[in-house]
Structure 1
Amino acid sequence: MRAVGVDGSPESVARLGVALRAAVDGDGPAVLPVRARPGDEPPLPEPVARAVAEEAVPDGLAVVVATSGSTGRPKHVALTGAALRASAAATEARLGGPGTWLLALPAEHVAGVQVLLRALLAGSPAVVQDVREGFRPDGLTRATGRMRHGARRYTSLVPTQLARVLEHGSAPLHALAGYDAVLIGGAALDPGLRARAEEAGVRVVATYGMSETCGGCVYDAVPLDGVTVTIEPGSGRVVLGGPMLGAGYLGAPAATADAFGPDGFRTSDLGRLDADGSLTVLGRADDVVTTGGEKVAPAAVERALLRVPGVRAACVVGLPDDEWGQVVAALVVTDAAGPADDALRDAVREACGRAAVPRVLHRAAAVPERGIGKPDRVAVAALLSGTG
């Protein structure tokens, strides 16, 4: 196994693509993409190096990706070539056939890896937007101009990137509207943001999945072909299974045994299956706020806030409280002439009940993020409690 450094440049991503293709085909060592200067030879993280030294790696291992580490300790997910191929094939089938792909995400994350592999398995390398200085809507326009004409066009973005393109408008938005599918994942997609994008002609596909499932495996609430979705009795957690399932965490047998079982991968998300088999994700199990004996799902409060005109983003957490155990606290991003605090609290009260009304309400220019587009709830809690 070897670590391959990428810095967001097309040149470094091209080198990673060559290594990924060889690994998936079984013609080269397994690859761990990491954020680093491409000329460097990054060392393997200690758990991965230990697993390699002890020969405790699964058969067919092709790629190792680090989770975004919401607890501060990222895990290293082992993905086999067979799982990655199954994921790419299921995505291609759902989207309507092979096409050319644009990579505008960091290549070291599972979503970036999948864009590269889907493109390669479809017959041509992905077109790469240079993101060394971060994502820029104008860069998307230029990169789109390099894509092959006459073929279907696909890309994958996080909600923050989609919002920036919509805010910019003009050429970047026109370019994005020309794609046959724009996959949006990495974080929950606000229904209002989706509606704005679709009104502008963008063909949005909301994806749900994680590194442990080779990325997105549920598209617009419907599982991809071969994917199983069940709800764990008692806990209400979403359990995902199928051929695109990862083989566990390298160097972490206890964590593997806890998360991977005979029914699939036990996620940290709460969910509900509707009569037609579609999945509604209700939020993370460990994010639930217990206030005065009542359980409040932050995701439901966030949805209520985002439905208020003028609210652009929201993140809800629980803060410790001597009287209530926890209180609901909300960080919101609003337009300059945004709604009054009372309007925000009234919207939550009507949608979620009295217990869910935020006792702490703070406005900010942006929601802190970790990984690619995921809200950093630890940072939000620190900010709202006055320690950040």
Structure 2
Amino acid sequence: MSRLRLVPGTPDGVLAALAGVLDGSGTAFAPVPEDAVGAARVQQAARPDEPVEDGTAVVLTTSGSSGEPKGVLLSRDALVASATATHERLGGPGQWLLPMKPYFVGGLQILTRSLVAGTTPVLLGDSFTEAARQLTGVRRYTAMVPTQLARYLETDLQALRSFDAIVIGGASTPEPLKQRTAEAGVTAIPAYGMTETGSGCVYAGVPLDGTAIDLGADQRILIKGSTLFSGYRLRPELTAEVLRDGWFRTQDRGELVDGRLRVIGRVDDVVISGGVNVTLTTVQARLLEHPRVNDAVVLGVPDAEWGTRVVAFVVGEPTRDEARDWVSQTLPRTWAPQDVVQLQALPMLASGKVDRQRLREGVR
């Protein structure tokens, strides 16, 4: 068995390593972020000193927004299947703009799609508009997280309109942002997926070709298909826990509305606080409807008195009492957050996800 190569997590470094595993001339690799913390997480999860599992093309480290990072094993076939199915859904191969880090699955798959399509990816640089002007392909694509989309709607609207499709992933897209995007004439497609599914595998609620979805008894989203990961790096017990009979048991809950998947939260988003079951995502959605809340996330924090204390982190002006009263207008008063923490901005990971671990640690 061969060893895992660590390569620089730069666009050039990842693109070269990807080209090698796709054409068979290279060996399995793990991209390493530029920052020391990110590099340490890769070392922890990828364990390059150990032989790499057969069939592995790349090992990606999960963001670890809620716990210990894991090394996700993706095969060449999974990478290509994801890229091919994405192009088929979007209308055909095209040229891609890379506005995100390539050591996360969203960025890495932009480079994979470029290689599969035989096109040269364009890097972001200092200006999104200037980067978009460099695209010369017949079809023009990019992918980004919701926070980037919101920012570019304010600063680079014409550039956004020039894309045939913009895939939005990494986090759920708030309804107000979806409405603003549609009204602005921007073709943005919400995608659901994760590192374990080789990036987005459900576009606008509909699975890509080669992907199947189902719901477990607890509304847990189950995914099967050609883009799935092979397992977790040197963690067979954890792999067996989430991969059963070809189905990947995600940590998300969903429902089917008119045949389309709607993600309604995480399995652990229901907590018991003071003996009452509280659905954190429902409380969060209500807070986001407040006219003076720009962003919010609601988490459960261990507490000696409540068991779990419901804490709302809001970017906006409502006080604790105002936020509690607002939630209580449509939800049980027992669901109202015990604490409200006002922030200038939610802390984000490089992947574009909220750093939930950091928020929890800040209130313990």
Per the TM superposition, whether the score is higher than 0.5 is: yes
AA aligned opposite 1:185: G
Provide the secondary structure at the position in 2 that maps to 1:380: helix
Superposed, 1:1-388 pairs within 5 Å as: 1-6=4-9, 12-36=10-34, 45=43, 48-49=46-47, 52-53=50-51, 57-59=53-55, 61-130=56-125, 139-148=127-136, 151-167=138-154, 169=155, 172-233=156-217, 235-274=218-257, 276-334=258-316, 338=317, 344-383=323-362, 385=363, 387=364
**How many angstroms apart in 1 are the aligned matches of 2:171 and 2:234?**
27
User: Any gaps of 5 or more consecutive residues in structure 1?
Assistant: 7-11, 131-137
Q: CA deviation at 1:282?
A: 1.8
Please tell me whether the aligned partners of residues 30 and 46 of structure 2 are also in contact (alpha carbons under 8 angstroms): no
Please tell me whether the aligned partners of residues 187 and 374 of structure 1 are also in contact (alpha carbons under 8 angstroms): yes
Q: Deviations over 1:228-278 (max 9, x none)?
A: 111222x3321111010110011111111111111411111122233x332
Please tell me whether the aligned partners of residues 330 and 362 of structure 1 are also in contact (alpha carbons under 8 angstroms): yes
Q: 1:379 to 1:58 in 2, by over 3 A?
A: same
**How many angstroms apart in 1 are the aligned matches of 2:49 and 2:159?**
44
**How many angstroms apart in 2 are the aligned matches of 1:47 and 1:314?**
30
Provide the secondary structure at the position in 2 that maps to 1:299: helix
Q: More deviation in 102-111 or 191-200? A: 191-200
Question: In percent, how many aligned pairs have the same letter?
Answer: 42
**How many angstroms apart in 2 are the aligned matches of 1:2 and 1:42?**
15
Q: Deviations over 1:183-236 (max 9, x none)?
A: 111111111122122222221111111110001111112111221111222x33
Provide the secondary structure at the position in 1 that maps to 2:286: helix
Q: Deviations over 1:114-169 (max 9, x none)?
A: 00011111111211113xxxxxxx611111111115x11111111111122233x3
Q: 1:256 to 1:124 in 2, by over 3 A?
A: same
Q: CA deviation at 1:340?
A: 6.1
User: Any gaps of 5 or more consecutive residues in structure 2?
Assistant: none
Please tell me whether the aligned partners of residues 101 and 153 of structure 1 are also in contact (alpha carbons under 8 angstroms): yes
Q: 1:27 to 1:121 in 2, by over 3 A?
A: same
Please tell me whether the aligned partners of residues 166 and 187 of structure 2 are also in contact (alpha carbons under 8 angstroms): yes
Aligned residues: 358
Provide the TM-score with structure 1 as the length reference: 0.85
Provide the TM-score with structure 2 as the length reference: 0.91
Provide the secondary structure at the position in 1 that maps to 2:182: helix
- Identify the residue that residue 135 of structure 1 maps to in structure 2: none
**How many angstroms apart in 2 are the aligned matches of 1:202 and 1:179?**
8
Q: 1:47 to 1:329 in 2, by over 3 A?
A: closer
Q: 1:360 to 1:129 in 2, by over 3 A?
A: same
CA RMSD of aligned residues (A): 2.4
Please tell me whether the aligned partners of residues 67 and 357 of structure 2 are also in contact (alpha carbons under 8 angstroms): no
